[in-house]
Amino acid sequence: MAVSPRLLAALAIGFAPGCLHVHGDVAHPDHKPPARADGFASLKPGESIVARPASEPKPIADTPAAPKLATVEPDPLVPPPESVLTVKAEPGPFPLPGVAPLPEPPLLAAMRAYVENRPEDAIRHLEKLDKPNQDFALAVMPVLARGAAMNLSAPDPQEAGHLADQLSGAAAKLEAKAALRVEKVAFCRKIGGFGKFEPWPQAQPYRPGDLARLYVEVRNLGCQAAADGYVTRAVTLLEVRDAKGQLVEQVDPADYRQRVQVVRFQHDERSQSPVRDYFQPYQIRIPPQVGVYTVTVEVRDPLTGRAARSQAAEFRVAGP
């Protein structure tokens, strides 16, 4: 009676101890599995599968720890040999020689000496300036020193007057060289002196042929010393123009029979003291034609050659 291979395999498994579940197809009897290196191939039928080590463990001798070597850090300033850079050495800055302090300006040194009660040294420092500058500094320095030390909120009247005189003297030296100015030109009813006049009403026109009074005030006019005092010289030019800007003829003050387009006045005035406040009164004959007119005044200083021209002053002429 023939027995199939499948039946023989089932009978062999039935006699094996324990339960073994096989999944998949059963290998053919002629098929030999490959040899295994883990020892399962040497098991005989009926032997239990017990895991055992291949060999007995051997005790491991304690190995002494290797000594730690000191770590050497590379010098950060020295690059490694493979990255050596070539740097061109530059010379360092040369030390500067000692610089002597600059000398004080002459005016500052003179003022310091004057405040420290050393007037001779102050004069010596001012000798470095021009003569006009020396005179001006000598006139102003005492005023600055005394004015800074006194109580200007409630000054002593005598001392304040002395300072005012010193300032006036210094200012007078500059006025003769300052720009000449025609300070004021005004039509007036009456003229009584410097700054004293009664203005002509602005809305009131003149009549043809009227005689208008003109007040002219001048600043910074030169004054020259003379044998008997002082002399002040000035040349004044007056011109009248109509509404179209055309010159209107005037009577010549040097010869009343003549008529000129620009009236010229020459002044040589003598005084016992220098003149600071200068003015002159003039008279203008009103044109016969009705209209709007202007008068312009030019003042010249023959001593210095300076000249100044005023703004045009307007006046109106109405019919009778």
The pLDDT > 90 percentage for the chain reads 42
What per-residue confidence (pLDDT) applies to 103? 80
Shared-domain flag, residues 257 and 240: yes
pTM of the predicted model as reported, rounded to 2 decimal places: 0.62
The pLDDT of residue 18: 44
Q: Does 72 fall in a domain?
A: no
112 plus 234 within the same structural domain: no
Last residue of a domain, one of 175, 205, 233: 175
pLDDT per position as a tens digit, 130-156: 998 998 898 899 888 888 888 888 888
Residue 145 placed within a domain: yes
The confidence band for 168, taking pLDDT boundaries of 50, 70 and 90, is confident
- pLDDT single digits (tens) 82-137: 555 565 656 666 666 767 777 888 889 999 999 999 989 999 999 988 998 998 89
Is the pLDDT score of 234 beyond 50?
yes
pLDDT digits (tens, 9 = 90+) for 260-304: 999 999 999 999 988 888 999 999 999 999 999 999 999 999 988
Answer yes or no: do 131 and 224 share one domain.
no
In the prediction, which pLDDT does 308 show? 96
Q: What domain range includes position 115?
A: 106-175
In a domain, 169, yes or no: yes
How many domains does the chain fold into?
2
* pLDDT value, residue 285: 93
- The yes-or-no verdict on residue 23 having pLDDT over 50 is no
Q: How sure is the predictor about 176, in pLDDT bands with cuts at 50, 70 and 90?
A: confident
Higher-scoring residue by pLDDT: 28, 215 = 215
Least confident range from 79-88, 173-182, 232-241, 254-263: namely: 79-88
Q: Is residue 259 part of a domain?
A: yes
The least confident of 30-39, 68-77, 162-171, 182-191 is 30-39
Q: pLDDT digits over 260-272, tens only?
A: 999 999 999 999 9
Across the chain, mean pLDDT equals 79
Residue 40 belongs to some domain of the structure: no
One domain, residues 238 and 275: yes
CA distances (Å), 132 to each of 24, 94, 301, in order? 134, 47, 21
According to the model, what pLDDT value does residue 294 have? 97
Q: What is the pLDDT of residue 224?
A: 86
Identify the weakest region by mean pLDDT among 7-16, 237-246, 252-261.
7-16
pLDDT category of residue 187 using cuts at 50, 70 and 90: very high
Domain harbouring 214, CATH code: 2.60.40.10
If phi > 0 it is left, if psi is from -120 to 50 it is alpha, else beta; for residue 117 that is left
Please report which confidence band the pLDDT of residue 175 belongs to, taking 50, 70 and 90 as the band edges: confident
Q: Which residue has the higher pLDDT, 294 or 51?
A: 294
Q: Is residue 11 part of a domain?
A: no
Residues 185 and 166 in one domain: no
Counting residues of the chain whose pLDDT is more than 70, the rounded percentage is 69
Q: Residue 303 falls within a domain, yes or no?
A: yes
Same domain? For 208 and 283 the reply is yes
Domain-embedded: residue 208: yes
Q: Given 160, 175, 190, which residue is the final one in a domain?
A: 175
Nearest CA to 215 among 258, 185, 189, 195?
A: 185
